[in-house]
Chain A
Amino acid sequence: MIEAKNVSMKYGKNGQYALSDISFFIDRGEFAFFVGSSGAGKSTLLKLIIRELTPSTGCLKVFNRDVGRLPRQKLPYLRRNIGMVFQDFRLIESRTVYDNVAFAMMVIGSPQREIHKRVPQVLTLVGLEDKTKAKVCDLSGGEQQRVGLARALANRPALIVADEPTGNLDPGTTLDIMNLLRSINQRGTTVLVATHNREIVNLFKKRVIYLDGGRMVGDEQEGFYTHDH
């Protein structure tokens, strides 16, 4: 599903390497953590996967397509297969929960009928079926991230990419959101999570890819995130 071969990423012409010589393969249906301290290159790696950035050298394949060579006009169709979850939620605060999720379907041209059917489904999945008409700005952080997750799921993506999804949440809410991501994964969706939350990584016992200073320093199935890394 995702295959990186000697991927390097440099910001600007004479800038420092944010990532250097990264290689890995993530299969369909996997759940993987990208871990490392701030500046390790986790976010850059996710941005490469969603093609917000393109690799300076190396080859990165997502859904068997080299995203570095993907023509601009094909980008929207790649993104429709990826659900994105952000640390700062990136919701439209002035609109309702329903509208935020429906928006993601509307802007790719889904028919109204489909939207009416699908939005309540995903809101039930994330446990917000009672808040459909609430405005996003009136929700708690945890609830806002659930809306973010519902939006990411609305278009039935094959891959969920979450960049520090619990970075702004308290420990209890963090666990709720992570459990939701796990159950989404159990339904067959590939999930990638960038985080520096050791407790969560150690609790979940999933695949862990370690980054440090832009280099990949480890890749373990059922890995642990200890101070050694």
Chain B
Amino acid sequence: MIISSIGYVLSESFKGLFRNRLMCITSTGVVAVTLLMLGIFMLLSLNVAHITDQVKEQVEIVAYIDDQASSNTVAALRQKLESNPGVLEASYVSSEEHMERLRRQLGSVLEGYDTELDNPLLASFEVRAMVPENVAVLAAEIESYPGVSEVFYGQDYVESLFSVTRVLQLLGLTLMVGLAITAVFLISHTIGLTVMMRKKEIAIMKYVGATNWFIRWPFILEGLLMGLVGAIIPLVALYYLYQYALDWVAVNNLAFISMLPLQEVILEVGRYLLPLGVGLGILGSGFSIGRFLKV
């Protein structure tokens, strides 16, 4: 009985898809278009996040050491920085090294100036924060350490970067939730029409004593298949679109826009779109059929 039921459910699902092919193509199309929009947005926000991460990694705190500080104080300061859990890495830059960097940057301007005798530059620690967003708090803490004369971390730049990232993330989330809700609505509506066209069949099934689950299964399987196909189509489209975008960036010498690699990004988007498509398909048919089961 179970085997014949499974056979029935499978064959009915495929027959159903074929008999109502126009409606099925419409439903699948709705899923595909919605997921395509969602996918494009995901690609954008993944890349924005990627670029922001890279910029964040470059954020560092420079803690200048008091020129009166003894070597013991400097050693204690290094110890303190390295044991701070908020610090990812701290490296010592001597005043000579600072001068060297300056010489490299300015070149001929410093010619004839005896930098060995008269070096006004302070030695420093360059500190990278474990969590770049916490850089302000960490900088304030480091400033209070003995032997530190001044702390610098490009306050304005860092703070505006983080607020832009926050706005982008919030906007992305809102858009994605909005699109997902629209998708559920559209899909359940379209699948609802498919179910409506077959309400007579459903009523007959109820009259001859089919259980609700027996009636539901073929519809749910149909929804699942439509959702799956509706997710695969935009994934393939996104693959080619993204490849095109990568080529475009390369051809136009926009190498400073660092984009995620193709395979990685499509796999990441697919990890969300496939279950989302399948879930939407199942939910859409499940919701729509519920109304017709009360005979």
Q: Say whether B75 faces chain A, with CB atoms less than 8 Å apart.
A: no
Kindly name the residue among A90, A106, A110, A151 whose own CB sees the greatest number of chain B CB atoms within 10 A: A106
Given known A76-B210, A76-B211, A90-B200, contact A107–B4 (CB-CB < 8 A)? no
A92 to B207 Cα, complex, angstroms: 13
A116 to B204 Cα, complex, angstroms: 20
A25 to B72 Cα, complex, angstroms: 107
Given known A80-B208, A80-B209, A155-B208, contact A110–B4 (CB-CB < 8 A)? yes
Q: Which residues of B contact A94 (CB under 8 A)?
A: 19
**Is A77 touching B209 in the complex (CB atoms < 8 A)?**
yes
| Interface footprint category on B | 20 to 34
A108 to B206 Cα, complex, angstroms: 10
**Is A52 touching B205 in the complex (CB atoms < 8 A)?**
no
**Is A92 touching B208 in the complex (CB atoms < 8 A)?**
no
Given known A52-B295, A112-B4, contact A107–B210 (CB-CB < 8 A)? yes
**Is A109 touching B209 in the complex (CB atoms < 8 A)?**
no
A79 to B210 Cα, complex, angstroms: 8
Q: Which residues of A contact B210 (CB under 8 A)?
A: 76, 107-108
Instruction: Report the nearest B residue to A115, measured CB to CB.
Output: B4
User: Least Cβ distance of B293 to chain A in Å?
Assistant: 10
Q: Say whether A50 faces chain B, with CB atoms less than 8 Å apart.
A: yes
Instruction: Report the nearest A residue to B11, measured CB to CB.
Output: A106
State the interface size on chain A (CB cutoff 8 A).
28
**Is B209 touching A108 in the complex (CB atoms < 8 A)?**
yes
User: Least Cβ distance of A154 to chain B in Å?
Assistant: 8
Within 8 A of B (CB), among A86-125: 90-92, 94, 103-104, 106-112
Instruction: Report the nearest A residue to B211, measured CB to CB.
Output: A76
A172 to B159 Cα, complex, angstroms: 91
**Is B4 touching A90 in the complex (CB atoms < 8 A)?**
no
Given known A90-B200, A106-B8, A111-B4, contact A78–B214 (CB-CB < 8 A)? no
Q: Say whether A45 faces chain B, with CB atoms less than 8 Å apart.
A: no
Q: Mostly helix, strand, loop or mixed at chain B's interface?
A: helix
Of B1, B7, B8, B295, the residue contacting A107 (CB under 8 A) is B8
User: Least Cβ distance of B213 to chain A in Å?
Assistant: 10
Of A73, A84, A91, A109, the residue contacting B4 (CB under 8 A) is A109
Within 8 A of A (CB), among B206-235: 206-212, 214-215
Q: Which residues of B contact A78 (CB under 8 A)?
A: 209
Given known A79-B207, A79-B209, A155-B209, contact A109–B5 (CB-CB < 8 A)? yes
Of B2, B8, B203, B209, the residue contacting A76 (CB under 8 A) is B209
User: Least Cβ distance of A170 to chain B in Å?
Assistant: 25
Given known A107-B8, A109-B8, contact A90–B208 (CB-CB < 8 A)? no
A154 to B208 Cα, complex, angstroms: 10
Given known A77-B209, A155-B209, contact A109–B1 (CB-CB < 8 A)? yes
**Is B203 touching A107 in the complex (CB atoms < 8 A)?**
no
A52 to B206 Cα, complex, angstroms: 10
The 6 closest A-B pairs by CB, nearest first: A79-B209, A80-B209, A107-B210, A104-B208, A76-B209, A109-B5
Pairs A–B under 8 Å by Cβ, sample size 6? A73-B211, A79-B208, A92-B204, A106-B8, A109-B4, A109-B8
Q: Using a CB–CB distance below 8 Å, which chain A residues touch chain B?
A: 50, 52, 73, 75-82, 84, 90-92, 94, 103-104, 106-112, 151, 154-155
